[in-house]
């Protein structure tokens, strides 16, 4: 999960949060991934493997920042 905080002058308050994803948050950043002029939060999630011989999988998740 990614949580954004803002400073109101005396304390920080939560502005927004993403939904909790299963797996490991490998990286995240801000980018205009769909080229619409608005920045999105882009995160890379690594999922655990389910079997003995299966490989872990990665997933790109994009959140609109409205």
Measured CA to CA, the distance from residue 29 to residue 14 in angstroms comes to 18
pLDDT tier for residue 11 given thresholds of 50, 70 and 90? very high
Is residue 8 predicted with pLDDT exceeding 80? Answer: yes
Measured CA to CA, the distance from residue 43 to residue 28 in angstroms comes to 4
Measured CA to CA, the distance from residue 15 to residue 27 in angstroms comes to 20
Query: Is the pTM for the entire model greater than 0.85?
Result: no
């Amino acid at each position: 999960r990614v949580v954004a905080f803002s400073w109101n002058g005396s304390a920080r308050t939560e502005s927004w949060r993403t939904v909790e994803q299963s797996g490991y948050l490998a990286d995240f950043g801000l980018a205009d991934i769909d080229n619409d002029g608005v920045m999105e939060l882009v995160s890379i999630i690594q999922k655990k493997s389910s079997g003995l011989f299966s490989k872990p999988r990665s997933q790109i998740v994009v959140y609109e920042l409205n």
